[in-house]
Amino acid sequence: MSFQSKNENKEKAMATPSSLASVAANARKPGTNTLGTNALGIGLEARSVHAWFGKHHALANVSLDFPAGTVTALIGPSGCGKSTFIRTLNRMHEFIPGAAMAGEVLLDGKDIYEPGTDVTKIRLKIGMVFQKPNPFPSMTIGENVLSGLKLAQLKNANKDDLMEECLVRAGLWNEVKDRLNAHGGSLSGGQQQRLCIARALAVNPQVLLMDEPCSALDPGSTLRIEETIKELSETMTIVIVTHNMQQAARVSDFTAFFLADGGPGEMIETAATSQIFSQPRDQRTENYVTGRFG
């Protein structure tokens, strides 16, 4: 594990909104993953996605591409539909009674909502980290990390190595390595969230959706997670919802700005992250990223 860029990151953590553009400019450029897009597939595409909760139209007409091996940040004020959108991307939206959606979500060009699709396979390929940590309290820490393998009935020859690797990547290894047999619920909130990240990594998803993964974390763990996100983007496509502009600027290649202006939430603008933070096309985006609004 390389911690070389830690100091650099600390500086970035203290960046003020006015210097966001320069942070974003320093961030990794898209398409620099070493594995090439073939191993990653061609990514995820949302086509005219709408979402409803009963009669409430929560999200309107969002079309967004997530090219393979990139990190896309979703930003926007509270209640604008970011979580709703991200949950349509791995078919978690449909668990809410009365929820409905329209449009298409294409994984490697195939619609994941197509009738006859094995939805468990879809969710295995499109992993998710929730806003609120939700480890399995009946399992130990170690079992939690490997729970995805068990749940999806996957085989892995070297479980101990995998467990350690995932916990290291999630920045939790040092804190739990001596008590892997303790219960998942015995960790602090931030530790639980990192455990959930480790759990999502263990099944090696093609796409990882993260809904404010750092909202319960301290700055140190947050940096660790950001490191992880950057490493993961070599082998995964990542979508991250965040309220932290600096975080969006630090980790993402592309940023999409969402806004609900009275009506359903919409995507106002999407572009390379550096552009969103330096010269957004839409006035509302500029107001939001400069903190003048929202």
Partner 1 sequence: MTMLENKGPAAIPSPREITTEPRFSDKLFRAIVTTGGLSSLVILGLIAVFLGYQGFEILAKEGISFITTSEWTVEVDSFGTITNTTFGLAAMLVGTILCAFIAVLIAVPVSVAAAIFLSFYAPASLKRVLVSIIDLMAAFPSILFGFWGLFVLMPSAEYWAKLINRYLGFIPIFEVDPPIFTRSPFIAGVVLAIMIIPIVTSISREVFSQTPLDRIQAAYALGATRWNVIRTVALPYARGGIVGGSMLGLGRAMGETVAVYTVLNIVYQINWQVLFGAGGNVASLILLKFGEAQPYEIKALMAAGLVLFLLTLFVNFIADQIVAKSGSKGR
Ligand X SMILES: Nc1ncnc2c1ncn2[C@@H]1O[C@H](COP(=O)(O)OP(=O)(O)OP(=O)(O)O)[C@@H](O)[C@H]1O
User: What residue ranges bind partner 1 (CB under 8 A)?
Assistant: 90, 92, 95, 120-121, 123-124, 127-128, 130, 132, 134-139, 147-148, 150-153, 183, 196, 199-200, 203
Residues 198-257 that bind ligand X (CB under 6 A): none
Size of the site for ligand X (CB under 6 A): 12
Angle at 117 between CA 59 and CA 157, to 5 degrees: 110
Contact 203, 124 (CB under 8 A): yes
Contact 264, 83 (CB under 8 A): no
Interface with Mg ion includes 273 (CB under 5 A)? no
Query: 31 or 79: whose CB is closer to ligand X?
Result: 79
Query: 80 or 145: whose CB is closer to ligand X?
Result: 80
Query: 75 or 126: whose CB is closer to partner 1?
Result: 126
Q: Which two tokens stand for residue 53?
A: 């909760």
Binder among 31, 79, 137, 189 for ligand X (CB under 6 A): 79
Query: 196 or 251: whose CB is closer to partner 1?
Result: 196
Query: 44 or 68: whose CB is closer to ligand X?
Result: 44
Which amino acid is present at 129? Answer: V
Binder among 78, 153, 158, 174 for ligand X (CB under 6 A): 78
Binder among 6, 10, 29, 56 for ligand X (CB under 6 A): 56
Interface with ligand X includes 189 (CB under 6 A)? no
Which residues sit opposite 183 in a β-bridge? 140
Query: 197 or 268: whose CB is closer to partner 1?
Result: 197
Query: 206 or 252: whose CB is closer to ligand X?
Result: 252
Contact 81, 51 (CB under 8 A): yes
Binder among 72, 83, 228, 285 for Mg ion (CB under 5 A): 83
Interface with ligand X includes 84 (CB under 6 A)? yes
Q: With CB cut-offs between 5 and 8 Å by kind, which of ligand X, partner 1, Mg ion, none does residue 68 bind?
A: none
Q: With CB cut-offs between 5 and 8 Å by kind, which of ligand X, partner 1, Mg ion, none does residue 80 bind?
A: ligand X
CB neighbours of 286 closer than 8 A, spacing ≥ 6?
Answer: 280, 292
Residues 57-76 that bind ligand X (CB under 6 A): 58
Q: With CB cut-offs between 5 and 8 Å by kind, which of partner 1, Mg ion, ligand X, none does residue 180 bind?
A: none
Q: With CB cut-offs between 5 and 8 Å by kind, which of Mg ion, ligand X, partner 1, none does residue 150 bind?
A: partner 1
The pairing of beta strand 265-272 with beta strand 71-75: unpaired
Gap between the Cα atoms of 16 and 14, Å rounded: 6
Binder among 15, 25, 42, 96 for ligand X (CB under 6 A): 96
Give the binding site for Mg ion (CB under 5 A). Answer: 83
Give the binding site for ligand X (CB under 6 A). Answer: 53, 56, 58, 78-84, 96, 265
